[in-house]
Structure 1
Amino acid sequence: MMPPNKQESSFPIIPGESRNETIPVQETWFSSPSHVIPCLDDDGPSHQSRQSSVLRQSLRPIILKFEELTYTIKIQSGKGSYWFGSQEPKQNRLILNGVSGIVKPGDLLAMLGPSGSGKTTLVTALAGRLQGKLSGTVSYNGAPFTSSMKRRTGFVTQEDVLYPHLTVMETLTYTALLRLPKELTRKEKIQQAESVISDLGLTRCCNSVIGGGLIRGISGGERKRVSIGQEMLVNPSLLLLDEPTSGLDSTTAARIVATLRSLARGGRTVVTTIHQPSSRLYRMFDKVLVLSDGSPIYSGDSGRVMEYFGSIGFQPGSSFVNPADFVLDLANGITSDTNQYEQGEINGKLDRLEEQNSVKESLISAYKKNLYPPLKEEFSRTFPQDQTVNWSRSKTRLTNRWPTSWWMQFSVLLKRGLKERSHESFSGLRIFMVMSVSLLSGLLWWHSRVAHIQDQVGLLFFFSIFWGFLPLFNAIFTFPQERPMLIKERSSGIYRLSSYYTARTVGDLPMELILPTIFVTITYWMGGLKSSLTTFIMTLMIVLYNVLVSQGVGLALGAILMDAKKAATLSSVLMLVFLLAGGYYIQHIPGFIAWLKYISFSHYCYKLLVGVQYTWDEVYECGPGLHCGVMDYEGIKNLSLGNMMWDVLALTLMLLLYRFLAYVALRNL
């Protein structure tokens, strides 16, 4: 077996970084990228040096140690009734079983293992993002996971969570504005984003949209490098990645791993999971950790893996076998001498399963006997008096410290949100829908008169219902669609939840308020309602206030359920109740269920619209030569119009309550 290839990667090494294998942890400091691509004018070395000095502090070499990590989850059996679910108790499933390892600055560690072996769980635990009970000890330079450590750690998930309508430059620029410290100016942060773009070979697609789904954008390998670039902006000391080569062709995968290797050579500690690397990729790894059903079977130098397994009696069937394929076969319990790929049903599935389990147990036992003792000695030599955290007994509290101010977070998130959602907020289809409905309703109620008071009241009720349904259903999808991005960025400690929530709701206001304004302006005057500018403005204000309340209901439902289909189903039932209890269709609701109208925002909106449209001394022709008071009309009389401030207060309470519920639901996400 050849040792790991030490040749230069296809990506440039970040300037100012060393390629030494042994790096003093407490003494050496590394500079950040200092050159930029020609997207902006270079302001000279003064900006570069200050930018480098500020970011240099984040690249403090880190020795990552994890010892005897064990993680168990409870799973449901799946048997049970339709209505009451499973009646059987949940069973425990062991995901990680005594996993240990140590990774030093300059090392690239690859975690290998078949699907379900616990690779993703392990790398998530090392990033400090694993929920549930994890026993064992983890230390970073001999200390537990803290907020300072969190800001110096980069974590790239398997799925690329990116906004599809933003360009590469916009994506990294917004991330830089949010994640880089406030000591840097806006221009210096943009220069850092351009430096990362240059270092990761993304200059060619700098102004291309990310894409995804039905939107054509950059390639999968370029998207993965953008995800890595987002973490590299803060110059992390520890970089963890979950299967960064998944779904990529061999050439692109090689470029990604070469990038990681270059980053490790710059003094970073890099840990990645990988499913089935080629021999070309395998030679780039410095160390490997092989897992089988959550238990380690090898941990050490990548170049000694064949030698080790050969020493315990497991030889490959060919001298030209890929080491990664060989160890993955062993992790599955498949050896070359059993030739289990061609056995078919000769020995039966049960016999093969027992033989595979026997091989796995043998490998686990050999690891504990041969590899774990020297690994434990290395633990004692490295930070012998470290203050490791026991995850089964304590939970580290992260201090409330943020890289930027609340206002900076709000402004950047607002601009990013408006840029990303401009395609859907001001889409031609949505504008056409509102305009067509407004014109159609204006023609249907064309110049209605007070004499046709039932028609006019119906138009006012249509205002309250249409602009209750539409904003509610649009708001339902807000947080379920944003959930992956919110979890990713909040886990990295980029911004406060309050700044995100405020920016998200404020960013929706232009479209949510502009279209209702156009709708009411067209339909009000075409429908022949009271030709008073004051009455029109009050009607418009009531409709817009109703829009804000209904949007809050949708935000709360989406945030609580975090499932768009469930939220849409529940909102349909809820709006049906509000429709029936609004006071138009049913004027004499039985007393035992009359309370429903008090929780219906459509009811209060309808009352306010009627209250501002008609006065107590106004009359209408209720028969040939007979005039009746408008307030005596049965449909208006049963609304019990009185002091409209109580209705405004009820809508205000709903507005605050629903938006507060949405915020609390996001806080508990």
Structure 2
Amino acid sequence: MDLRFYEKDNKGYYGSVSETLQNAGDGRLKESENQISKFENSSVKSDAELDCGRSTLNIYNVGYVVKEWVGPWWKGACLRKVKKKTVLRNISLQVKEGKMTAILGNSGSGKTSLLDVIACRSTGEVTGTVSVDGVPCTRDVIQQRATYVMQADRLLPNLTVRETLRYTAMLKLPGNIKAQDVDRKVSQVILEMGLKDVADSRIGSSIIRGISGGEQRRVTIAIQLLKDPDMILLDEPTSGLDSYTARYLVSNLRDLARRGKIVLLTIHQPNSDIFHMFDQIGIMSQGEMVYCGPSKELVPYFTTLGYPCDKYTNPLDRYVDVASIDRRNKEKEYNSKKRVDSLVEAFNNSKLHHTTVQTIQKIHQQPRPKVNVRQKGPHYGRIILTLLSRMNKNLFRDRKDYFARIFLLPLFMVFIIIFLGRLGHTYKSIQDRIGLIYNATTGPPFMGIINSVALFVCLRDLYYRECRDGLYGTGTFLVAYSIHVIPLQILSTLIFSSIIYWVTGMNPNFDRFVLFTLEVFILHYWGEMVTVACMGLVMNPNLANSLAALVQSAAVIIASGYVKTVANLIEPFQWLSWILIHKYSGEIFIANEFDGLEFECDGFNPCIPNGTAFIQEYYPGADERVARNFGALGGYAVGTLILAILAFKIGGLRNLH
């Protein structure tokens, strides 16, 4: 039986295999197995000879175990039982330079987890070894030699393709690189990924019109090519793309592999045209390998196990189905699991698997090569300026978001002015002034909450990707964000305070106006940074909005004294008020407005004749503690930035798959 027909194109060799074996008896089948084994041995040997000296990614006997909470979070909370789940078991494979390897499998088979382990992004217990040319894969080695393209595109919608790549190049490339060299590198990756026609088009989003989904995928890959990595890992790069766009993208990746890259990707439901572009295929099920070897040997291998591929059937669809667990009922699940177990055992006992393991073991026995020293990246100042410039440009390109940043808070004052009108100097005006101060206290933080929930999410997701790539840290990102929002908040606060203070007739003293404006600005900034901290702890922006609003509302009610004086609170709340910002802001607002005012009693008895008497009655000593209270507000302004950094550290780097 001549097996050379396996190397033919897709004009019918699947059918030839199927028809030949359907007509064969047991003896013929045995003969086929023997000849395929000889073919396998010869092809492995020739591949080894051809690949001698090439760079390789070696994954040897890798296992991965994670912890899982049993049951929903509301049952027992932190007291729930924890069980260990085996995600990967005894995975061994080798990916060679110049070849493209695809890992397939049904949902939950462990494809993405395998990439996470290789990229040092795992969160559980990892056993076995992962190395590149004998050098163990640590986070530093991966950041230096490899790149990881996640399934989701994390891009700023208002930047063009060229701007997106240029900003990332300024963060990735060495600090001594010149601007013209950056532009040259950006133009090179634009050409490599076929983005020349859309280089000056906006990225876009679900709301903002921009480039297509396939082009966004290529931009994400182009970003990772800026540092010219030796190894490219991709998690389902064709997800959500049509067949033509997927084929074009995989063709780009094959060209990258041919230029000397190690290309390893997971893929979901590839068509038969894409199948022919892969050099190696790996099929996983339940965290184990069912097959891993040359794509041209996929059909012969499974055919010898009794699973031929019919004519006009995509072999990848066929064998992913064979390696899947059918959970429709217990009988089907038992039979399919038994089938998968036999496939795993057959592969572990195959000559193909043993040859791979022996090759990796020989590499590990060789002296470990010296690791190259990492090239020095850009200095801190360039990183801050790059992040700041990118944030500003992304915001200014969208007039809706830009004007919301500036005018959302001033628009809030319109309702206050309509409701309160001009403040008088009668005894009744005390209540009006308290209401105005209450709104000046609660309005700015709530506007900060609304703005950050609407505009910070895309920046946060981009941070998760770039921080994992080692471009900058949490502190750098949040310092740049603070510098980005402060000028806009100052402008918004000035417009708000200038109108509401003078139109309503608050204490007519310019020094008092400056203090009022400064306090409104600090509360505005505090509200936004508290929300940012909440979004570092939880991914859902709506939940972060609710948490920040709850903190703001509770702080006002407990500590401000507007609803109930602090002296009349129960003792625990009195103690709590000392650590809440509104205790200090409330005293400043009251002292700033009421000190020196005179009131007409109009027959009210008893009556508070002036603002000083009001302060002594409800906020005793507040007029003497203005400097101290402003010092506390300054501490809160810096403290919320530190709090946000800590919240992102506690929340950790999300994978965003």
Whether TM-score is above 0.5 comes out as yes
**C-alpha distance in structure 1 between counterparts of 2:386 and 2:471, whole Å:** 12
* Shift of residue 490, structure 1, vs aligned partner: 0.9
* Structure 1 residue 270 corresponds to structure 2 residue 263: yes
The one-letter code of the counterpart of 2:261 is: R
Question: Which residue of structure 2 aligns with residue 413 of structure 1?
Answer: 387
- Distance in 2 between the 1:333 and 1:647 partners? 65
2:551 to 555, 574, 592: 574
Q: How much has 1:518 moved relative to structure 2?
A: 0.1
Deviation track 1:93-145 (CA, whole Å, cap 9, x = no partner) reads 32211111111210111112222111111122112222211111111110112
- 1:563 maps to 540
* Match in the other structure for 1:488: 465
2:613 corresponds to which residue?
A: 632
Matched residue of 1:607: which SS?
A: helix
Q: Which residue is 2:564 aligned to?
A: 586
Separation in structure 2 between the aligned mates of residue 275 and residue 494 of structure 1, nearest angstrom:
30
Conserved 8 A contact 2:404-2:451: no
Deviation of 1:532 (Å): 2.7
Q: Give the partner amino acid of 1:493.
A: G
- State the SS of the aligned residue for 1:64: strand
Amino acid at match of 2:294: D
> Residue type of the partner of 1:516?
T
Contact 1:439/1:522, CA 8 A, preserved across alignment: no
Specify the code of the residue in structure 1 equivalent to 2:209: R
Counterpart in the other structure of 2:424: 449
Q: How far apart, in 1, do the equivalents of 2:518 and 2:594 lie?
A: 16
Change (3 A) 1:363 1:485: same
Aligned to 2:246: 253
Distance in 2 separating the partners of 1:665 and 1:124: 24
The yes-or-no answer on 1:609 pairing with 2:589 is yes
Q: Distance in 2 between matches of 1:462 and 1:399?
A: 57
The aligned runs of 1:130-141 (5 Å cut-off) are: 130-141=122-133
Separation (CA, whole Å) in 2 of partners of 1:405 and 1:399: 17
What is residue 191 of structure 1 aligned with on the other side?
Answer: 184
Q: TM-score, normalised by structure 2?
A: 0.84
* Secondary structure, counterpart of 2:578 in structure 1: helix
The match for 1:379 is 360
Distance in 2 between residues matched to 1:121 and 1:657, nearest whole Å:
37
Q: CA deviation at 1:399?
A: 9.9
Q: Report the AA paired with residue 631 of structure 2.
A: L
Contact 2:407 2:492 in 1 (8 A): no
Tell me the distance in 2 between the aligned counterparts of 1:212 and 1:472: 23
Q: For residues 543 and 132 of structure 2, what CA distance do their matches in structure 1 show? A: 42
1:364 to 330, 344, 361: 344
Q: Which moved more, 1:196-205 or 1:264-273?
A: 196-205
Deviation at 1:148, TM superposition (A): 4.3
Give a deviation string over 1:180-235, Cα, whole Å, max 9, x none. Answer: 11231122112211211122111111122212222222111111111110111111
Decide whether aligned partners of structure 1 residues 544 and 2 sit closer, same or farther in structure 2, where only a CA change above 3 A counts. Answer: same
2:62 matched residue in structure 1: 69
Q: CA deviation at 1:420?
A: 2.0
Q: Cα distance 1:138–1:430, how it changes in 2: closer, same or farther (>3 A)?
A: closer
The separation in 1 between residues aligned to 2:332 and 2:133, in whole angstroms, is 44
Q: Which segment is superposed worse, 357-366 or 544-553?
A: 544-553
Name the counterpart of 2:213.
220
Q: CA deviation at 1:591?
A: 4.8
Where does 1:217-616 land on structure 2 (aligned, <5 Å)?
217-316=210-309, 318-332=310-324, 349-370=329-350, 371-382=352-363, 384-385=365-366, 403-422=377-396, 423=398, 426-428=401-403, 433-451=408-426, 452-475=429-452, 481-581=458-558, 582-587=560-565, 588-592=567-571, 593-615=573-595
Q: 1:654 to 1:5 in 2, by over 3 A?
A: farther
TM superposition shift of 1:85: 4.9
The answer to whether the 8 Å contact 1:182/1:403 transfers is yes
Does the C-alpha gap of structure 1 residues 640 and 401 become closer, same or farther in structure 2, counting only changes over 3 Å?
farther
Distance in 2 (CA, whole Å) between partners of 1:163 and 1:590 is 48
Q: Residue in 1 aligned with 2:25?
A: none
Match of 1:164 in 2: 157
CA deviation digits over 1:286-330, x for unaligned, max 9? 1111112211121211111112222333323x2443221232132
Once the 2 structures are TM-superposed, how far is the Cα of residue 154 of structure 1 from its aligned partner?
Answer: 1.4
Measure the CA separation in 2 of the matches of 1:5 and 1:508: 59
Distance in 2 (CA, whole Å) between partners of 1:296 and 1:400 is: 34
Distance in 1, Cα, partners of 2:332 & 2:430: 82
* Corresponding residue to 2:85 among 93, 101, 118: 93
3-state SS, counterpart of residue 204 of structure 1: helix
User: Which residue in the other structure is 1:122 paired with?
Assistant: 114
CA–CA distance in structure 1, aligned partners of residues 479 and 373 of structure 2: 22
Relative to 1, partners in 2 of residues 1:638 and 1:89: Cα closer, same or farther, differing over 3 Å? closer
CA distance in 2, matches of 1:476, 1:5: 53
Aligned match of 2:629 in 647, 650, 653?
647
Letter in 2 for 1:503: A
Find the aligned partners of 1:224 and 1:262 in 2 and give their Cα distance.
16
Distance 2:376 2:543 in 1: 35
- Check whether the contact 1:631–1:637 (CA below 8 A) recurs between aligned residues: no
**Aligned: 1:109 with 2:90:** no
Change (3 A) 1:560 1:149: closer
Q: Which has the higher helix share?
A: 2
Change in Cα spacing, 1:436 to 1:299, as seen in structure 2 (3 Å) is: closer
- Displacement of 1:526 after TM fit? 0.5
Identify if the C-alpha distance between structure 1 residues 438 and 333 changes in structure 2 by more than 3 Å, giving closer, same or farther.
closer
Distance 1:635 1:548 in 2: 30
Q: How far apart are the structure 1 equivalents of 2:212 and 2:592?
A: 57
Mark the CA change 1:87 to 1:407 in structure 2 (over 3 Å): closer, same or farther: closer
What is the match of residue 642 of structure 2?
Answer: 660
Distance 1:553 1:659 in 2: 8
Deviation at 1:433, TM superposition (A): 4.3
1:622 aligns with 2:601: yes
Q: Distance in 2 between matches of 1:352 and 1:260?
A: 38
* 1:48 aligned partner: none
Provide the rounded CA distance (Å) in 1 between the counterparts of 2:172 and 2:8: 34
| CA displacement, residues 604-651 of structure 1 (integer Å, 9 cap, x when unaligned) | 2232133233445x5332246999332112686434322312211221
Return the alpha-carbon distance in structure 1 between the equivalents of residues 290 and 51 of structure 2: 28
Q: CA deviation at 1:415?
A: 0.8
- Secondary structure in 2 matching 1:628: coil
- Tell me, yes or no, if the aligned pair for 1:167 and 1:208 is still in contact at 8 Å: yes
C-alpha separation in 2, matches of 1:458 and 1:87: 45
Please report how far the alpha carbon of residue 522 of structure 1 lies from its aligned counterpart in structure 2 after TM superposition: 0.6
Q: Which range moves more in the overlay, 552-561 or 194-203?
A: 552-561
Question: What is the percent sequence identity of the aligned residues?
Answer: 27
Query: How far apart are 1:264 and its partner, in Å?
Result: 0.5
Distance in 2 separating the partners of 1:462 and 1:4: 77
Tell me the CA shift for residue 22 of structure 1.
Answer: 5.0
Q: Distance in 1 between matches of 2:509 and 2:325?
A: 83
Separation in 1 of the partners of 2:452 and 2:493?
15
What secondary structure is seen at the aligned counterpart in 2 of 1:565? helix
- Matching residue's letter, 1:374: T
Query: Shift of the alpha carbon at 1:171?
Result: 1.0
SS in 1 for 2:61: strand
Q: Is the 8 A contact 2:101 2:282 kept in 1?
A: yes
More moved, 572-581 vs 625-634: 625-634
Q: Which residue type is aligned with residue 412 of structure 1?
A: T
CA contact (8 A) 1:560 1:662 kept: no
